[in-house]
């Protein structure tokens, strides 16, 4: 929660802004590294979740690698100081320029998503006289039991190589002198809170791993992606996810040889809870059926509710309100000219008025990075607690 001093600081700041609790970020990273370190697991930060420079630097200092999904992310990771041999590069549509730049950076591994991509990487690597390390991103057809729009591991999704294409991959790999099969890669979806999903994933990985090993391919690494969900409903009570339980599942169910390294690509679980979108009430509109709280932040600053009907806890944090205020239900909306520009419907809040500060919680992942300039809005700024 926010201390009175923090709220005083907010009072004099220009809203809206992202507020990042860097202490919480560091504690989260420690908890993750400790739990992963127990089994020698290697964690790459999925920087698509938040590539704010301060955040990236703290994550780099904590010793994590980087999981990138564009050439610009690869470049930014390396400029920030992530070691190239800890950088992985995924994405269904890597351009020739992006592949070439990543080859020049000598990154750890390309997570290749199609047979055609393998051929292209081989050709580009040959031009540079290099050998590209490849992890095949395989679609395991495992249901992540999460929001439809953030599921990636089903055959209906565009991601990864389907299992019936594995013989074709094996054939390309065998005859491509500029490719080196490093391992296999999976990612089934995001905001996964049912940990059984990861158990099912392990079982699938074991099967596919065996398929390759039976055919004489030696796999150095197994990359199981990210997707660990957080508690959007109780951000204070569960500020740090249970990394111990998460990594234990992989230790228990993933079959691996001693020399095989296991890699993770966590985004949300590392950064979501340290970020909050702080906004001010511009207007209160009382209706017959509904009351609207109109904020100075909208879907241009935090897109998740508009895009996925995602829940974020909303709080009125203005200090001057005491507990005696009646609780009222509001539809909390932004100023953008779209009906989906709504942060929550029928949200119970202490009776609110123009000028009150509103915190939208758990917004550190897929918040600031998905901001847009729609309606020619100002770029959202950030504040930090050290
Ligand atoms: N690895 C791959 C290959 C991915 O596609 C993703 C996320 C991750 C790792 C990291 O997943 P995480 O640990 O953060 O769940 N914008 C959506 C989420 C999109 C996730 C995309 N891929 C949202 O706001 O919920």
Q: Which residues of 187-204 are buried (b: 16+ CB within 10 A; e: fewer)?
A: bbbbbbeeeebbbbbbeb
Q: Dihedral of the CA atoms 296, 302, 303, 308 (nearest 10)? A: -110
Report the 10 Å Cβ neighbour count for 17.
Answer: 19
**Model confidence at 151: pLDDT above 70:** no
Note the pTM of the prediction, 2 decimals: 0.96
- Is residue 154 scored above 90 in pLDDT? no
What angle in degrees, to the nearest 10, is found between the helix axes of 53-61 and 22-37? 30
Summarize the confidence of residues 12-29 as an average pLDDT: 98
Pocket perturbation via mutation, ligand 1, pick of 197, 227, 307, 370 by most ligand atoms within 8 A of CB: 227
Strands 42-46 and 261-266: parallel
Between residues 158 and 367, which one has the greater pLDDT? 367
Instruction: State both tokens at 187.
Output: 């990612």
Q: Considering the chain, what percentage of its residues have pLDDT values greater than 70?
A: 96
Residue 156 is predicted with a pLDDT of 66
User: What kind of fold does domain 23-272 have according to CATH?
Assistant: TIM Barrel (3.20.20)
User: What is the DSSP secondary-structure string of 279-316?
Assistant: EEEEEEEE-SS-EEEEES--TTT--HHHHH-----EEE
pLDDT one-digit tens code per residue, 30-70: 999 999 999 999 999 999 999 999 999 999 999 999 999 99
Ligand 1 near 66 CB (within 6 A) = no
* Domain boundaries for CATH 2.40.37.10 within the chain: 4-17+273-384
pLDDT in tens, 209-251: 999 999 999 999 999 999 999 999 999 999 999 999 999 999 9
How confident is the model at residue 287, as a pLDDT? 81
Average pLDDT over residues 148-159: 66
- Is ligand 1 within 6 A of the CB of residue 263? no
Work out the mean pLDDT of the chain and round it to a whole number.
95
pLDDT score at 322: 63
The model's pLDDT over 342-382, given as tens digits with 9 standing for 90+, comes to: 999 999 999 999 999 999 999 999 999 999 999 999 999 99
- Is the distance from the beta carbon of residue 88 to the nearest atom of ligand 1 less than 6 Å? no
Every domain range in the chain assigned CATH 3.20.20.10: 23-272
Q: How far apart are CA 27 and CA 239, in angstroms?
A: 10
Asked whether 190 lines ligand 1 (CB < 6 A), one says yes
CATH fit for domain 4-17+273-384, picks 2.40.37.10, 3.30.70.260, 3.40.47.40, 3.40.50.620: 2.40.37.10
Q: Give the pLDDT confidence score for residue 150 in this predicted structure.
A: 59
Mutate to test the pocket of ligand 1, among 50, 149, 226, 366 (most ligand atoms within 8 A of CB): 226
Span 240-287, pLDDT tens digits: 999 999 999 999 999 999 899 999 999 999 999 999 999 999 999 998
CA of 184 to the centre of ligand 1 (A): 18
């Amino acid at each position: 929660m926010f201390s009175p001093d923090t709220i005083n600081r907010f009072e004099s700041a220009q809203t809206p802004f992202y507020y990042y609790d860097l202490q919480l970020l560091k504690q989260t990273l420690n908890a993750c590294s400790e739990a992963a370190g127990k089994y020698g697991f290697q964690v790459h930060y999925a920087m698509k979740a938040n590539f704010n420079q301060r955040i990236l630097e703290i994550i780099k200092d904590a010793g994590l690698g980087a999981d990138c999904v564009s050439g610009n992310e690869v470049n930014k990771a390396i400029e920030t100081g992530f070691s190239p041999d800890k950088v992985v590069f995924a994405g269904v549509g890597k351009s020739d320029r992006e592949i070439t730049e990543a080859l020049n950076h000598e990154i750890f591994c390309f997570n290749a998503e199609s047979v055609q991509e393998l051929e292209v990487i081989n050709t580009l690597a040959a031009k540079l006289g290099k050998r590209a390390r490849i992890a095949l991103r395989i679609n395991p057809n495992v249901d992540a039991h999460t929001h439809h729009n953030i599921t990636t591991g089903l055959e209906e999704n565009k991601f990864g190589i389907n299992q019936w294409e594995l013989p074709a991959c094996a054939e390309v790999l065998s005859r491509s002198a500029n490719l080196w099969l490093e391992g296999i890669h999976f990612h089934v979806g995001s905001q996964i809170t049912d940990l059984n999903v990861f158990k099912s994933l392990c079982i699938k990985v074991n099967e596919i791993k065996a398929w390759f090993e039976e055919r004489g391919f030696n796999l150095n690494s197994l990359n199981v992606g990210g997707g660990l969900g957080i508690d959007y409903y109780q951000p204070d009570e569960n500020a740090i996810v249970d990394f111990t339980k998460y990594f234990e599942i992989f230790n228990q169910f993933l079959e691996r040889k001693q020399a095989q390294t296991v890699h993770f690509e966590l985004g949300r679980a590392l950064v979501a809870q340290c970020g909050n979108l702080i906004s001010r009430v511009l207007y209160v509109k009382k209706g017959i059926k509904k009351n609207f709280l109109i904020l100075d932040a909208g879907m241009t600053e935090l897109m998740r509710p508009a895009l996925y009907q995602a829940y974020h806890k909303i709080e009125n944090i203005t200090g001057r309100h005491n507990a005696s205020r009646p609780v009222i239900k509001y539809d909390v909306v932004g100023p953008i000219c779209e009906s989906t520009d709504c942060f929550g419907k029928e949200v119970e809040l202490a009776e609110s008025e123009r000028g009150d500060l509103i915190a939208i919680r758990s917004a550190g992942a897929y918040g600031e990075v998905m901001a847009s300039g729609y309606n020619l809005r100002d770029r959202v700024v950030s504040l930090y607690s050290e």
